[in-house]
A and B are shown apart, each in its own frame.
Chain A
Amino acid sequence: MDMKKLIKTAGPIALLFLLLFVLEKTLPTTSMLFVVLKKGAIYALVAVSMNLLNGFTGLFSLGQAGFMLIGAYTYGILTIPLEAREAVYQYFDGGIVSFTVPVLVAIAAAGLVTAVFAYLIGLPVLRLKSDYLAIATLGFAEIIRAVFQWDKLGPVTNGSNLLKRFPVFTSTLFPFAVAGVCIAVIVLLINSSYGRAFKAIRDDEIAAEAMGINLAKHKQMSFTISSFFAGIGGALLAMYQTTVQAAAFRATMTYEILLIVVIGGIGSVTGSCLASFLFIACSEWWLRFLDEVTYIGAFQVPLLSSGFRKVVFSVIVMIIVLFYSRGIMGTKEFSLDALFRFFKKRFGKTKKEDVAG
């Protein structure tokens, strides 16, 4: 492999982790920054997995929340300590799952279980085209949500009640590491021969088929892999939230992830990552002041009250959707080279003029 290229990609990532480590050691752990970083990393993974499907394979699926739900539940069910089960499954006599597995195994299991569900769902659903596919996957997500709340399944899923007391992460590095590895795998996949086949399907299904690409198999593959990572994202989300409840995995969650993908640029992995951190930071942190009634002197700033943050936020989202439909990155990827080129192009000229002047 090209050494230079390796350094150029691995270097910044290593730096990022180092920076995180230092931040964690220096800043108080209660800073909102860490909340944003944790949740942002999780959403980045889920957004990239959705991008694999929507942006790279051209399958417009809206089932992400449902798959995250499966992942989150799998993780929760497998890791709640035995001594806590009696309390968690209080209405179901401690539940019927009577073993626990290590955290990393549970995360992998979350992905695998989700992938199996996705495979089964994909069999009928992937024959549908564009918006019909979207609405069918949305429907499946709703069905999954209902099934997981069914009290007959209570001994496993705890019915509609919260799952809690499972191990959660203590360091911001953990979600970053897991999400980072997963995103790296997705990137490798996208740049592989299969990734090219996915892109071919996105560009022109009929031509792709004429090139010998088995549509059903490849769509199924993309759908299952994407769901695998959505499941892992779900498991991480469970760890972040410290509790899991099926009721929270509504279509709104899928819409938010979709909007992240759109803001980042459909077909750009780095775009999705950047956008998810921006999205989470705006909605959880930076725009929070809009929700508080604020006085400047005796003057009450108009409009500011609970919920205004979301209005401002959705207006920003609409502006991006309408006027910058390519998102932050379009289909391009972010890299140091590209950044350097960008600045050179923008500011190179002025510099020359300075010299001349």
Chain B
Amino acid sequence: MKRVLAISLVLCLVGVLAAGCTPASQTSGNVIKIGVYEPSSGDNGAGGKQEVLGMEFANTVVNTVEIGGKTYKLELEIVDNESSNDKGPSAAAALVSAKCSVVLGSYGSGVSIAASDVFKNAGIPVIGASCTNPQVTLGNTHYFRVCYLDPFQGTVLANFAVDNFQAKTAYILTKLGDDYSAGLGNYFKEAFVKLGGSVVEETFQEGNSDFTAYLTTAINSGADVIFAPTSTEAASLIIGQAVSQGVKIPLMAGDTWDSSVILDAAKGSDLEVFVSTFFDEGDNTALGSEFVKNFKKWLNDNPDKKNNNGGNDIVAAVSALGYDAYMTAVEAIKKAGSADPKAINEALWDVKLTGVTGDIAFDEVGDAIRNVAYIKQANTTDASWIFVAIQGVE
């Protein structure tokens, strides 16, 4: 028994070794690889998957690029960074060793920052789709992004809180060790205090599932709004417990909460949930409505993709951003006229295009220039988003 087991184990290992050593897919002459560094599991898995969907969809729309008269096929190389800052760099290294020309990602600012140096050392440019923390691009020449930044988003939300609810006190709940959460919380606080409000801040730890005490503190502090920029995982817990505690204070959050997970959790309650986001499904620009229509069709044609979208065909803002990030990459490859990462990196500075989420051009830090955010409210009766306002910063 033991011997058989030993032999089979050894055989397995040898097989695996063989499989591992022969590079799974060699860059053949006519393929340009675009790396996708996104979480498909863990805290941010749900959002990450939706972002990947946007990229995959974009890949079906544009899957070749012409350079110097030769047609190259564009291939996506997708890895899972597990939403984890310590697993991320290894996943990034896998992309580097697969010889990607440009990388897209990641959902979640922390993992983006964590892997930044891996790409930097390999000289590969990265285009972030929805990582909103300023630290991602700051001080780097290889990291770009197509979305707005947290200082902007935080200010937008603070303005919204003051304009709409005449909020004087805000309760801010952030997750320890999450750059996105801490950063956005911080920028919201700064803006809110500047507008004359006061804040009560608390943090929760990874793996925490009991938010009743936090919500009680929020109620006791007399807060007018609760601001909880967290992952969707924590969000569903917070919403569920807010419902059962009968919380009447409006909940607000950033782009992460723009997810069907939130809608499901809030369904059937009388909770008020507001989020700021990059894109609205009801977008009436030609490009936007075209994208929404085709993306929905693509989702409905591919059951497993629809499954990744949470089982419905609601277009998430991150999917739109994923789409735009991919298109930006394609544009850069065209402009560079080569599959060489360095050339693409150079070309990215001058890329200009109109994406489904608006015009994209990069400033000197590598951030897309954005000036509006969409505010949406959760419709708790039929689990959909209601468009509230386009909010900018004065």
Residues in A lying within 8 Å of B, measured CB to CB: 28-32, 35, 39, 84, 87, 90-91, 146, 149, 151, 159-162, 164-165, 168, 170, 240-243, 245-248, 250, 253, 281-282, 284-289, 291-292, 306-307, 316, 319, 323-324
Question: Does A284 contact B41, Cβ atoms closer than 8 Å?
Answer: no
Q: Which of A160, A288, A316 contacts B177 (CB 8 A)?
A: A160
Chain A residues in 8 Å Cβ range of B255:
none
Chain A residues whose C-beta falls within 8 Å of the C-beta of B5 in the assembled complex = 319, 323
Whether, in the assembled complex, B135 has its beta carbon less than 8 Å from a beta carbon of chain A, the answer is yes
A247 touches which one: B2, B97, B206 (CB < 8 A)? B206
- Give B16 Cβ to nearest chain A Cβ, in Å: 5
B80 within 8 A of A: yes
Q: Which of B5-56 contact A (CB under 8 A)?
A: 5-6, 9, 12, 16-17, 19-20, 24, 40-41
Q: Which of B82-90, B267-275, B323-331, B374-382 interfaces with chain A?
A: B82-90
**Could you say which of B6, B93, B138 contacts A32, with CB atoms under 8 Å apart?**
B93
| Residue among B12, B80, B93, B179 with most chain A CB within 10 A | B93
Which B residue sits closest to A307, measured CB to CB? B41
Return chain B residues, CB-CB under 8 Å to A316.
9, 12
Besides A241-B89, A289-B19, 13 new A-B residue pairs in contact (Cβ under 8 A), listed by A number: A28-B97, A30-B99, A84-B139, A91-B186, A161-B179, A161-B182, A164-B113, A243-B114, A245-B85, A281-B20, A287-B20, A306-B80, A316-B12
Residues of B within 8 A of A161 (CB): 177, 179, 182
B122 is an interface residue with CB less than 8 A from chain A: yes
B203 near A151: Cβ-Cβ < 8 Å: yes
CB contacts (< 8 Å) of B89 on chain A: these are 240-242
B interface, over-half SS? helix
> How far does the Cβ of B68 sit from chain A's closest Cβ, in whole Å?
24
9 A-B interface contacts by CB (under 8 A): A30-B93, A151-B203, A161-B177, A242-B89, A242-B117, A243-B113, A243-B117, A250-B206, A316-B9
Rounded to whole Å, the gap between the CB of A148 and the closest CB of chain B is 10
* Cβ 8 A contact of B114, one of A241, A253, A289: A241
The number of A-B residue pairs with CB atoms under 8 Å apart is 108
Q: Is the CB of A32 within 8 A of B94?
A: yes
B117's closest neighbor in chain A, by CB?
A242
Distance of A35 Cα from B90 Cα, bound (Å): 7
B110: A residues at CB distance < 8 A: 162, 245
A242 to B140, CA, bound (A): 14
B200 CB contacts on chain A under 8 angstroms: none
- Docked Cα-Cα span, A292 to B177, in Å, equals 29
Complex contact B139–A247 (CB within 8 A): no
Residues of A within 8 Å of B17, CB to CB, are 286
A31: nearest chain-B partner, CB-CB: B97
Scoring B residues 198 to 230 as 1 if CB is less than 8 Å from chain A, else 0, what string do you get? 000001011000000000000000000000000
Distance (Å) between the CB of B117 and the closest chain A CB?
4
**B176 interface residue, CB < 8 Å from A?**
yes
Q: Are A39 and B90 in contact (CB under 8 A)?
A: yes
| B118 lies within 8 A of chain A by Cβ | yes
How many angstroms from the CA of A285 to the CA of B116 in the assembled complex?
20
Indicate whether A162 sits within 8 Å of B117 (C-beta atoms), given known contacts A31-B97, A32-B94: no
Min distance, Cβ B385 to any Cβ of chain A, angstroms: 28
Considering the complex, give the chain A residue whose CB is closest to the CB of B206.
A247
User: Distance (Å) between the CB of A140 and the closest chain B CB?
Assistant: 16
CB-CB under 8 A from B94, the residues of chain A are 32, 35, 284, 288
**Contact flag A248-B84 (CB < 8 Å), given A149-B205, A151-B203, A161-B177:** yes
Assess A245 versus B177: contact at CB under 8 Å? Given A90-B135, A160-B203, A316-B9.
Answer: yes
Contact A289 B20, CB 8 Å, known A31-B97, A91-B186, A323-B2: yes
B351-389 vs A, Cβ < 8 Å mask (1 yes, 0 no):
000000000000000000000000000000000000000
